Amino acid sequence: MRDKQEASWPSSHKQPGRQMDRRDFLQKTTLGVMALSLPEIPAFLKDARMGIVVHSYGLRWNSKVESQKYAPFTNAMDLMEHCHQIGAGGAQVVVKDWTSDFAKKVGSLREKLGLYLEGSIGVPNNAADVPRFAQEVKNCKEAGMQVLRTVCSGGRRYETYHSAEAFQQLQKNALVSLQLAEPVLRKHKMKLGVENHKDWRAPELERMVKQVNSEWVGVTLDFGNSISLLEDPMEVIQTLVPYAFSTHVKDMAVEEYRDGFLLSEVPLGKGILDLPAIVSLCRKHNPKMTFSLEMITRDPLEIPCVKKEYWETFAGVPGSELARALRMVREHKYENGLPRISQLSPEEKLAAEENNILACLEYSRNALGLK
């Protein structure tokens, strides 16, 4: 395992106001303050297993490659069957355009295989979109889900939004969407986690969850995305974990490039994140937390943080955070360079994806106690 990054980046500034604080939020959930005082990992979690986010299979999902060994997954049931075969404990799947009959079939398979199941769902864009959202939530419930994940932006912050005004409008729209979603979630007793998806810095997402002020709206906590926004990953975890319903588990590696740094998901235990500490903190705050692997096999992402355009939506973020981020990059060189797959054949890419996922599951069993 590579050296772990020291938690030395600047602390997130907390927002004043009348919103619900973290303890109030926890008291409103089913776990409440009990989650903060458990002396040890509860017995039911000792047999917990890592699940898999559908995006881990971005290459194999609806793949057009004719492969005997890596047949494509065409729907949620294909993915669930495979997760069971490789020893995963559950799956997070996209729920869109499902019929009620298909939702029931998914639910029957989930029960047969003994998997947990979570949905990835789009929040309503406006009032006219609420019936669509309500039907999808109903389908999720029919399939036996209790936790959903969503995003509230159209893409990566530094690529999609090119002015402070554009990002502020996104924030306003996202809040409206969550407020429209909340009565539906409350009716069906379904929890919805908003992912920190290379869009919200942790204090921004925390503030939005507080504004919604509902036990049914929280966070899907991605372990590594916020590095792209120059945030310290451990401080992101500490800020958002009190609101987290679910996770995207990953490890990250970095590399310098001309306009900033490159960022890659790498097999668990090979990157810069202190995964045992993060998992322990998640369990402390929510003993029923699920851990879902998002190991995306792809070429590194460019984080152009030294270009002027990157900073158009980051008013108030001090340059010292950039300096510390770049120092972190220089101190954590990935052995032999970050993995790249664009030069591989289609079959080799599918093999790399599967091997990465299997390696992550092995690490989760041996190092994280997710048996």
Sequence-ordered list of residues with C-beta below 8 angstroms from that of 133, at least 6 positions apart, any chain: 121, 122, 123, 124, 180, 181, 184
Q: What integer is the mean pLDDT of 294-303?
A: 98
Residue 126 pLDDT > 70: yes
Residue 73 in any domain: the answer is yes
The C-alpha angle 164, 232, 123, rounded to 5 degrees, equals 55
Alpha-carbon span 21 to 214, nearest angstrom? 12
Q: What is the mean pLDDT of the chain?
A: 89
pLDDT at position 12 is 35
Any domain includes 7? no
Q: Does 123 fall in a domain?
A: yes
Note the pTM of the prediction, 2 decimals. 0.87
3-state helix/strand/coil string of 15-60: CCCCCCCHHHHHHHCCCCCHHHHCCCCCHHHCCCCCEEEHHHHCCC
- Domain-embedded: residue 1: no
- 3-class DSSP assignment, residue 338: coil
Q: What is the pLDDT of residue 268?
A: 98
- 122 found inside a domain: yes
Q: Report the amino acid identity of residue 258.
A: R
Residue 16 in any domain: the answer is no
Has residue 341 been placed in a domain? Answer: yes
**229: Cβ contacts below 8 Å, ≥ 6 apart:** 157, 158, 198, 201, 314
CA separation for the pair 300, 207 (Å, rounded)? 30
14: in domain:
no
Q: Which helix (H) or strand (E) holds 105?
A: helix 100-113
pLDDT tens digits, residue range 182-209? 999 999 999 999 999 999 999 999 999 9
Contact 292, 247 (CB under 8 A): yes
- Total number of domains constituting the chain: 1
pLDDT(116) > 80: yes
pLDDT the model gives residue 29: 45
User: Model confidence over 71-94: pLDDT tens digits?
Assistant: 999 999 999 999 999 999 999 999
- How far apart CA 341 and CA 292 sit, in angstroms, is 23
Q: Give the domain range for residue 240.
A: 25-366
Q: What average pLDDT does the segment 305-314 reach? A: 96
CATH of the domain at 89: 3.20.20.150
Asked whether residue 45 carries a pLDDT value surpassing 50, the answer given is no
